[in-house]
Amino acid sequence: SLTAGIVGLPNVGKSTLFNAITQAGAEAANYPFATIDPNVGVVEVPDARLQKLTELVEPKKTVPTTFEFTDIAGIVKGASKGEGLGNKFLANIRQVDAICHVVRCFDDENITHVAGRVDPIEDIETINLELILADMETVEKRLAKVEKLARQKDKEALAEYEVLTKVKEAFEKELPARTVEFTEEQQKIVKGYQLLTQKPVLYVANIGEDDIGNTEDNEYVKMVREYAKKDNAEVVVICARIEEEISELDPEEKAVFLEELGIEESGLDQLIRKAYHLLGLATYFTAGVQEVRAWTFKRGMKAPECAGIIHSDFEKGFIRAETVSYDDLVKYGSMSAAKEAGKVRLEGKDYVVQDGDIMHFRFNV
């Protein structure tokens, strides 16, 4: 499954956030196959639709879908020079599908800042530069290989040469590969290099307890938002310390606490939602009297592939899927009422599943 890696300079709040993630962790009983890796935190994806479906269907149990975060340790500064822990840091980033980059946006005299003062942009650039330097090495190695062939007018080499020089120009301006515009064909080429700066990025602005409720007044947050725009990245604002506290509460207590703080959704829930979205993930549901359950799929997946997420036999023997959208099911109140209204469709193997679809797969065994 896809995972988002948590990175950041020392003392910015990574461990605090990761603690919140593992404490909020998904109920192990529902996910016996979840990896037992201390660096991986599995959380349930918050989804209000699941609650509503549970009210409608009244199943014996309800199972949310999950999302994984990976804690990426290692030394950041000088990582691209490739020694020991620094190398490990880059290798670990290579493994993840998206990057959650925690940035310190709180003032606290008692907590040392590695650079001696709080400066979120400088922090961001420190890490980004290491990633760019590592990617630059990849690109230059590849350039050396294709340059000669490109001069001999080899078609594939020419196409690659064009992509590589384009990326290199961006790196020279200290811009990540994800800011470069490519044609569809070029996209395929650049994907093959597995560049670190091509991965989607979410900046996690970690604010102090006092700033919660008026996050947009925080000057550091403004700076991060501004930076993210030109960096083609997204931003989520959290207070890791508060999230750690929230993660210890049960759902009712959590609701009360959030109301007291005057916020609708916890920072961690926002982080999960945004990371999920950033990775191009979506949710479909199965809804029966035994179980109402949410399933994660990649946007663009067709019905048989989505069936295969439940069980490979479902994909192999796929016949068709009985499908209704979440909105229609809620509007008509029951499966049979939705059917009467002609809202339940029979979809074949080419159907592209939509976020919120309720799926009932029919298959041969």
Site for ligand GDP in 203-222 (CB under 6 A): 206, 208-209
Nearer to ligand GDP, 206 or 286 (CB): 206
Max CA separation in the chain (angstroms) = 69
CA dist 158 and 164 (Å) reads: 10
Nearer to ligand GDP, 28 or 111 (CB): 111
Which H or E run contains 7?
A: strand 3-7
DSSP state of 99: E
CA dist 55 and 52 (Å) reads: 5
CA dist 30 and 50 (Å) reads: 15
Is residue 11 part of an annotated ligand binding site?
Answer: yes
Q: Of these, 10, 288, 300, 333, which contacts ligand GDP (CB under 6 A)?
A: 10
Choose one: 237-245, 246-254, 268-276, 286-294; the region binding ligand GDP (CB under 6 A): 237-245
Is residue 280 part of an annotated ligand binding site?
Answer: no
Buried b / exposed e along 253-275 (16+ C-beta atoms within 10 A): ebeeebeeeebeebbbbbbbbbb
DSSP state of 45: P
Q: Of these, 101, 199, 241, 320, which contacts ligand GDP (CB under 6 A)?
A: 241
Buried b / exposed e along 191-225 (16+ C-beta atoms within 10 A): eebebbbbbbbbbbbbbbeebbeebeebebbebbe
Site for ligand GDP in 15-44 (CB under 6 A): 15-16
Query: Min. distance of Cβ 138 from ligand GDP in angstroms?
Result: 27
Q: Is 267 in the site for ligand GDP (CB under 6 A)?
A: no
Q: Is 12 in the site for ligand GDP (CB under 6 A)?
A: yes
Q: Is 6 in the site for ligand GDP (CB under 6 A)?
A: no
Nearer to ligand GDP, 64 or 267 (CB): 267
Nearer to ligand GDP, 108 or 140 (CB): 108
Q: Is 295 helix (H, G, I), strand (E, B) or coil?
A: strand
In whole angstroms, how far apart are CA 225 and each of 107, 134, 220, 308, 338?
Answer: 18, 25, 9, 39, 43
Choose one: 3-11, 213-221, 255-263, 270-278; the region binding ligand GDP (CB under 6 A): 3-11
Q: Give the interface size with ligand GDP as a residue count (CB under 6 A).
A: 17
* 186 burial type by CB count under 10 A (0-12 exposed, 13-18 middle, 19+ buried): middle
Query: Min. distance of Cβ 59 from ligand GDP in angstroms?
Result: 38
Query: Min. distance of Cβ 66 from ligand GDP in angstroms?
Result: 23
CA dist 309 and 239 (Å) reads: 34
Q: How far is CA 20 from the centre of its chain?
A: 17
Nearer to ligand GDP, 123 or 357 (CB): 123
Query: Min. distance of Cβ 237 from ligand GDP in angstroms?
Result: 11
Choose one: 215-223, 236-244, 261-269, 341-349; the region binding ligand GDP (CB under 6 A): 236-244
**Look-up: residue for tokens 């916890």?**
266
Site for ligand GDP in 77-136 (CB under 6 A): 106, 108, 111
Output the six-digit token pair for 270: 């926002």
Nearer to ligand GDP, 12 or 303 (CB): 12
Is residue 16 part of an annotated ligand binding site?
Answer: yes
Nearer to ligand GDP, 244 or 315 (CB): 244
Write out the binding residues: 11-16
Write out the binding residues for ATP: 11-16
Binding site for ligand GDP (CB under 6 A): 8, 10-16, 106, 108, 111, 206, 208-209, 239-241
